[in-house]
Protein backbone atom coordinates (compact mmCIF):
# COMPACT_ATOMS: atom_id res chain seq x y z
CA UNK A 1 0.00 0.00 0.00
CA UNK A 2 1.13 3.49 -0.78
CA UNK A 3 2.10 5.62 2.18
CA UNK A 4 0.75 9.13 2.38
CA UNK A 5 3.85 10.84 1.09
CA UNK A 6 3.81 8.61 -1.98
CA UNK A 7 0.11 9.22 -2.55
CA UNK A 8 0.73 12.93 -2.26
CA UNK A 9 3.47 12.84 -4.88
CA UNK A 10 1.35 10.78 -7.24
CA UNK A 11 -1.52 13.23 -6.90
CA UNK A 12 0.75 16.15 -7.62
CA UNK A 13 2.40 14.51 -10.58
CA UNK A 14 -0.95 13.92 -12.24
CA UNK A 15 -1.13 17.60 -13.14
CA UNK A 16 0.56 18.16 -16.45
CA UNK A 17 0.96 21.90 -16.43
CA UNK A 18 4.00 23.00 -14.47
CA UNK A 19 3.63 26.05 -12.37
CA UNK A 20 6.58 28.32 -11.68
CA UNK A 21 7.18 29.58 -8.16
CA UNK A 22 9.32 32.60 -7.39
CA UNK A 23 10.29 34.18 -4.08
CA UNK A 24 11.07 37.89 -3.74
CA UNK A 25 13.41 38.57 -0.84
CA UNK A 26 16.05 40.95 0.54
CA UNK A 27 18.56 41.31 3.33
CA UNK A 28 17.57 44.77 4.46
CA UNK A 29 13.92 45.82 4.72
CA UNK A 30 12.16 48.57 2.82
CA UNK A 31 14.11 48.09 -0.41
CA UNK A 32 11.07 47.58 -2.64
CA UNK A 33 10.24 43.85 -2.45
CA UNK A 34 6.49 44.25 -2.19
CA UNK A 35 6.39 46.89 -4.95
CA UNK A 36 8.38 44.56 -7.17
CA UNK A 37 6.28 41.47 -6.36
CA UNK A 38 3.11 43.40 -7.09
CA UNK A 39 4.24 44.85 -10.41
CA UNK A 40 5.80 41.56 -11.48
CA UNK A 41 2.33 40.08 -10.95
CA UNK A 42 0.68 42.78 -13.07
CA UNK A 43 3.27 42.48 -15.85
CA UNK A 44 3.09 38.68 -15.97
CA UNK A 45 -0.69 38.81 -16.12
CA UNK A 46 -0.51 41.23 -19.04
CA UNK A 47 1.77 38.79 -20.84
CA UNK A 48 -0.70 35.96 -20.39
CA UNK A 49 0.95 34.27 -17.40
CA UNK A 50 -1.70 34.27 -14.69
CA UNK A 51 -0.05 35.46 -11.51
CA UNK A 52 -0.92 34.74 -7.90
CA UNK A 53 0.86 36.77 -5.24
CA UNK A 54 1.16 35.32 -1.74
CA UNK A 55 2.24 37.61 1.04
CA UNK A 56 4.20 35.79 3.74
CA UNK A 57 4.99 38.84 5.78
CA UNK A 58 2.36 38.13 8.45
CA UNK A 59 0.12 40.78 6.96
CA UNK A 60 2.70 43.57 6.92
CA UNK A 61 3.48 43.50 3.22
CA UNK A 62 0.51 45.72 2.34
CA UNK A 63 0.31 44.15 -1.10
CA UNK A 64 -3.44 43.87 -0.68
CA UNK A 65 -3.69 47.61 -0.10
CA UNK A 66 -1.34 48.34 -3.01
CA UNK A 67 -3.44 46.10 -5.26
CA UNK A 68 -6.69 47.69 -4.17
CA UNK A 69 -8.12 44.64 -2.37
CA UNK A 70 -8.81 43.90 1.25
CA UNK A 71 -8.04 40.35 2.35
CA UNK A 72 -10.53 39.11 4.92
CA UNK A 73 -9.10 35.65 5.32
CA UNK A 74 -5.69 34.09 5.08
CA UNK A 75 -4.05 30.72 4.67
CA UNK A 76 -4.57 29.99 8.38
CA UNK A 77 -8.32 29.88 7.70
CA UNK A 78 -7.67 27.09 5.17
CA UNK A 79 -5.34 25.22 7.50
CA UNK A 80 -7.90 25.35 10.29
CA UNK A 81 -10.64 24.19 7.87
CA UNK A 82 -12.66 27.37 8.23
CA UNK A 83 -12.31 28.20 4.53
CA UNK A 84 -11.53 26.59 1.19
CA UNK A 85 -8.50 27.84 -0.70
CA UNK A 86 -10.72 29.38 -3.38
CA UNK A 87 -12.54 31.41 -0.71
CA UNK A 88 -9.38 33.22 0.34
CA UNK A 89 -8.21 34.34 -3.12
CA UNK A 90 -8.75 38.04 -3.70
CA UNK A 91 -8.84 39.25 -7.28
CA UNK A 92 -7.32 42.69 -7.67
CA UNK A 93 -6.69 45.15 -10.48
CA UNK A 94 -6.29 43.60 -13.94
CA UNK A 95 -7.24 40.23 -12.48
CA UNK A 96 -4.09 39.69 -10.44
CA UNK A 97 -4.77 37.13 -7.71
CA UNK A 98 -3.70 37.59 -4.13
CA UNK A 99 -3.59 35.37 -1.04
CA UNK A 100 -2.64 36.59 2.36
CA UNK A 101 -0.37 33.91 3.74
CA UNK A 102 -0.56 35.23 7.29
CA UNK A 103 1.19 32.82 9.59
CA UNK A 104 -0.19 29.96 7.48
CA UNK A 105 2.89 29.44 5.34
CA UNK A 106 4.92 28.79 8.46
CA UNK A 107 2.21 26.58 10.00
CA UNK A 108 2.37 24.31 6.95
CA UNK A 109 5.76 23.06 8.07
CA UNK A 110 4.34 21.92 11.41
CA UNK A 111 1.29 19.93 10.29
CA UNK A 112 1.00 16.19 10.69
CA UNK A 113 0.82 14.14 7.54
CA UNK A 114 -2.99 13.68 7.12
CA UNK A 115 -3.70 17.37 7.68
CA UNK A 116 -0.86 18.37 5.39
CA UNK A 117 -2.24 16.04 2.70
CA UNK A 118 -5.62 17.73 2.87
CA UNK A 119 -4.14 21.23 2.59
CA UNK A 120 -1.74 20.32 -0.19
CA UNK A 121 -4.58 18.72 -2.15
CA UNK A 122 -6.52 21.95 -1.99
CA UNK A 123 -3.49 24.12 -2.78
CA UNK A 124 -2.76 21.97 -5.81
CA UNK A 125 -6.06 23.12 -7.25
CA UNK A 126 -4.30 26.47 -7.73
CA UNK A 127 -2.43 25.00 -10.69
CA UNK A 128 -5.69 25.18 -12.63
CA UNK A 129 -6.04 28.93 -12.15
CA UNK A 130 -2.51 30.33 -12.04
CA UNK A 131 0.77 29.93 -13.87
CA UNK A 132 3.15 31.71 -11.51
CA UNK A 133 3.10 32.08 -7.74
CA UNK A 134 5.04 35.03 -6.39
CA UNK A 135 5.93 34.90 -2.70
CA UNK A 136 6.62 38.27 -1.13
CA UNK A 137 8.71 37.78 2.00
CA UNK A 138 9.43 40.02 4.93
CA UNK A 139 12.91 41.43 5.44
CA UNK A 140 15.66 39.43 7.08
CA UNK A 141 16.35 35.78 7.57
CA UNK A 142 14.05 33.24 9.18
CA UNK A 143 13.34 29.56 8.70
CA UNK A 144 10.28 30.32 6.63
CA UNK A 145 12.09 32.56 4.16
CA UNK A 146 14.95 30.08 3.88
CA UNK A 147 12.48 27.33 3.04
CA UNK A 148 10.83 29.50 0.40
CA UNK A 149 14.19 30.39 -1.16
CA UNK A 150 15.10 26.70 -1.16
CA UNK A 151 11.79 25.50 -2.55
CA UNK A 152 11.12 28.14 -5.23
CA UNK A 153 12.29 27.67 -8.78
CA UNK A 154 13.74 31.16 -8.77
CA UNK A 155 14.61 33.74 -6.16
CA UNK A 156 14.62 37.47 -6.82
CA UNK A 157 16.98 39.26 -4.45
CA UNK A 158 16.30 42.98 -4.15
CA UNK A 159 18.78 45.54 -2.92
CA UNK A 160 19.33 49.26 -3.31
CA UNK A 161 22.78 50.64 -4.18
CA UNK A 162 23.29 51.71 -0.55
CA UNK A 163 26.20 49.87 1.09
CA UNK A 164 24.08 48.77 4.09
CA UNK A 165 21.53 47.17 1.78
CA UNK A 166 24.21 45.47 -0.33
CA UNK A 167 26.01 44.14 2.76
CA UNK A 168 22.74 42.74 4.13
CA UNK A 169 21.98 41.09 0.79
CA UNK A 170 25.37 39.43 0.91
CA UNK A 171 24.85 38.38 4.55
CA UNK A 172 21.58 36.69 3.56
CA UNK A 173 23.31 34.77 0.77
CA UNK A 174 26.07 33.68 3.15
CA UNK A 175 23.46 32.15 5.47
CA UNK A 176 21.68 30.51 2.54
CA UNK A 177 25.01 29.09 1.42
CA UNK A 178 25.96 27.86 4.89
CA UNK A 179 22.60 26.06 5.13
CA UNK A 180 23.61 24.10 2.06
CA UNK A 181 20.91 25.68 -0.11
CA UNK A 182 21.65 26.33 -3.79
CA UNK A 183 18.92 28.62 -5.10
CA UNK A 184 18.90 30.31 -8.49
CA UNK A 185 19.28 33.92 -7.47
CA UNK A 186 18.36 36.82 -9.73
CA UNK A 187 19.61 40.18 -8.57
CA UNK A 188 17.59 43.39 -8.88
CA UNK A 189 19.04 46.75 -7.99
CA UNK A 190 16.21 49.10 -7.04
CA UNK A 191 16.05 52.88 -6.51
CA UNK A 192 18.95 53.47 -8.85
CA UNK A 193 20.00 57.04 -9.60
CA UNK A 194 23.17 56.35 -11.53
CA UNK A 195 23.17 53.34 -13.84
CA UNK A 196 26.94 53.11 -14.17
CA UNK A 197 27.37 53.09 -10.41
CA UNK A 198 24.55 50.54 -10.07
CA UNK A 199 26.15 48.24 -12.61
CA UNK A 200 29.42 48.31 -10.75
CA UNK A 201 27.64 47.58 -7.44
CA UNK A 202 25.91 44.58 -9.05
CA UNK A 203 29.09 43.29 -10.64
CA UNK A 204 30.93 43.67 -7.34
CA UNK A 205 28.29 41.74 -5.40
CA UNK A 206 28.10 39.00 -8.02
CA UNK A 207 31.88 38.63 -7.98
CA UNK A 208 32.10 38.29 -4.19
CA UNK A 209 29.18 35.84 -4.10
CA UNK A 210 30.83 33.77 -6.83
CA UNK A 211 34.11 33.78 -4.93
CA UNK A 212 32.80 32.99 -1.45
CA UNK A 213 29.70 30.86 -1.99
CA UNK A 214 28.42 28.12 -4.26
CA UNK A 215 25.33 30.14 -5.13
CA UNK A 216 24.68 31.11 -8.72
CA UNK A 217 23.54 34.69 -9.06
CA UNK A 218 22.66 36.56 -12.24
CA UNK A 219 21.64 40.14 -12.99
CA UNK A 220 17.92 40.46 -13.55
CA UNK A 221 17.52 44.21 -13.80
CA UNK A 222 17.92 47.75 -12.59
CA UNK A 223 14.96 49.86 -11.49
CA UNK A 224 15.34 53.62 -11.34
CA UNK A 225 14.54 55.76 -8.35
CA UNK A 226 11.20 57.22 -9.36
CA UNK A 227 8.86 59.40 -7.29
CA UNK A 228 5.89 57.86 -9.11
CA UNK A 229 6.53 54.69 -7.11
CA UNK A 230 5.45 56.43 -3.93
CA UNK A 231 2.50 58.13 -5.66
CA UNK A 232 1.37 54.70 -6.87
CA UNK A 233 1.42 53.37 -3.30
CA UNK A 234 -0.55 56.37 -2.08
CA UNK A 235 -3.10 55.98 -4.87
CA UNK A 236 -3.33 52.23 -4.26
CA UNK A 237 -2.84 51.58 -7.95
CA UNK A 238 0.31 49.71 -9.05
CA UNK A 239 2.76 51.92 -10.94
CA UNK A 240 2.46 49.84 -14.13
CA UNK A 241 -1.20 50.84 -14.22
CA UNK A 242 -1.07 54.38 -12.83
CA UNK A 243 2.14 55.56 -14.56
CA UNK A 244 2.73 53.02 -17.34
CA UNK A 245 5.24 55.16 -19.23
CA UNK A 246 7.40 56.46 -16.38
CA UNK A 247 11.04 55.41 -16.00
CA UNK A 248 10.43 52.85 -13.25
CA UNK A 249 7.61 51.23 -15.24
CA UNK A 250 9.77 50.77 -18.33
CA UNK A 251 12.55 49.40 -16.12
CA UNK A 252 10.10 46.93 -14.57
CA UNK A 253 8.87 45.84 -18.00
CA UNK A 254 12.44 45.24 -19.08
CA UNK A 255 13.10 43.25 -15.90
CA UNK A 256 10.00 41.12 -16.47
CA UNK A 257 11.13 40.37 -20.03
CA UNK A 258 14.44 39.20 -18.60
CA UNK A 259 12.55 37.14 -16.02
CA UNK A 260 10.59 35.35 -18.74
CA UNK A 261 13.86 34.49 -20.45
CA UNK A 262 15.26 32.66 -17.43
CA UNK A 263 15.63 29.06 -18.61
CA UNK A 264 13.71 26.36 -16.73
CA UNK A 265 15.81 25.12 -13.84
CA UNK A 266 17.16 21.68 -14.55
CA UNK A 267 18.21 21.01 -10.99
CA UNK A 268 14.85 21.75 -9.41
CA UNK A 269 11.87 19.49 -9.79
CA UNK A 270 9.19 21.58 -11.54
CA UNK A 271 5.69 22.62 -10.57
CA UNK A 272 3.95 22.81 -7.23
CA UNK A 273 4.87 19.18 -6.68
CA UNK A 274 8.56 19.98 -6.66
CA UNK A 275 7.97 23.06 -4.58
CA UNK A 276 6.12 21.16 -1.83
CA UNK A 277 8.66 18.39 -1.85
CA UNK A 278 11.33 20.91 -1.02
CA UNK A 279 9.31 23.20 1.22
CA UNK A 280 7.57 20.75 3.51
CA UNK A 281 9.59 17.63 3.19
CA UNK A 282 12.83 19.58 3.34
CA UNK A 283 14.21 17.48 0.51
CA UNK A 284 17.79 18.51 -0.07
CA UNK A 285 17.77 21.08 2.72
CA UNK A 286 20.70 20.81 5.11
CA UNK A 287 19.76 19.51 8.54
CA UNK A 288 19.98 21.75 11.59
Ligand X SMILES: Nc1ncnc2c1ncn2[C@@H]1O[C@H](COP(=O)(O)OP(=O)(O)OP(=O)(O)O)[C@@H](O)[C@H]1O
Question: Which residues make up the interface to ligand X (CB under 6 A)?
Answer: 26, 29-35, 57, 61, 138-139, 190-191, 223, 225-226, 229-230, 233, 248
Identify the helix (H) or strand (E) that includes residue 154: strand 154-159
Nearest CA-CA partner of 146 in 105, 97, 207: 105
Contact between 242 and Mg ion per CB under 5 A: no
CB of 163 to ligand X, least distance (A): 17
Q: Pick from 255, 216, 219, 197: which is nearest to 42 by CA? A: 255
Of 61 and 152, CB closest to Mg ion: 61
Least CB distance from residue 35 to ligand X, whole Å? Answer: 3
Minimum CB separation of residue 238 from ligand X in Å reads 11
23 contacts 133 by C-beta, under 8 angstroms: no
What is the Cα–Cα distance from 14 to 119, expressed in whole angstroms? Answer: 17
Least distance CB 89 / ligand X (angstroms)? 21
Q: Judged by CB under 5 A, which of 23, 25, 34, 160 binds Mg ion? A: 34
Question: CA-CA distances (angstroms) from residue 242 to 190, 234, 238?
Answer: 19, 11, 6
Q: Among 25, 26, 39, 61, which residue interacts with Mg ion (rule: CB under 5 A)?
A: 61
By beta-carbon proximity to Mg ion, the closer residue of 191 and 268 is: 191
Q: Which of 32, 271 has the CB closer to ligand X?
A: 32
Helices (H), the chain: 4-13, 33-46, 63-66, 75-79, 104-108, 113-124, 143-151, 163-178, 195-212, 228-235, 239-242, 247-260, 271-279
Q: Residue 127 or residue 251: which is nearer to ligand X going by CB?
A: 251
* 237 secondary structure, DSSP code: S
Given Mg ion, ligand X, none, residue 220, with its beta carbon under 5 to 8 Å by kind, binds none
Specify the residue, 101 or 271, whose C-beta has the smaller distance to Mg ion. 101
CB of 24 to ligand X, least distance (A): 8
Residue 31 interface partner, choices ligand X, Mg ion, none, CB cut-off 5-8 Å depending on type: ligand X
**Segment interacting with Mg ion, rule: CB under 5 A, options 29-37, 42-50, 104-112, 160-168:** 29-37
> What gap in Å lies between CA 50 and CA 44, rounded to an integer?
7
Selection from 91, 94, 37, 52 nearest residue 252 by Cα: 37
Angstrom distance (rounded) from CA 274 to CA 208: 30
CB closer to Mg ion, 33 vs 147: 33
User: CB of 38: closest distance to ligand X in angstroms?
Assistant: 8
Helix (H) or strand (E) holding 190: strand 184-192
Amino acid sequence: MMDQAEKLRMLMNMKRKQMKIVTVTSGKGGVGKSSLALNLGIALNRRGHRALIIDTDFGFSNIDVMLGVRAQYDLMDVISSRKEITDIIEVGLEGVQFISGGSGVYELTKLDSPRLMRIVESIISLEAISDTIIFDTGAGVNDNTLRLIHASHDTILVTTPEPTSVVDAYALLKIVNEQGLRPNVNLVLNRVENVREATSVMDGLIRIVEKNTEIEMKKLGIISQDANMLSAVKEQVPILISYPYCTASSDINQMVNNFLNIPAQQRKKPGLAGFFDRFVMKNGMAKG
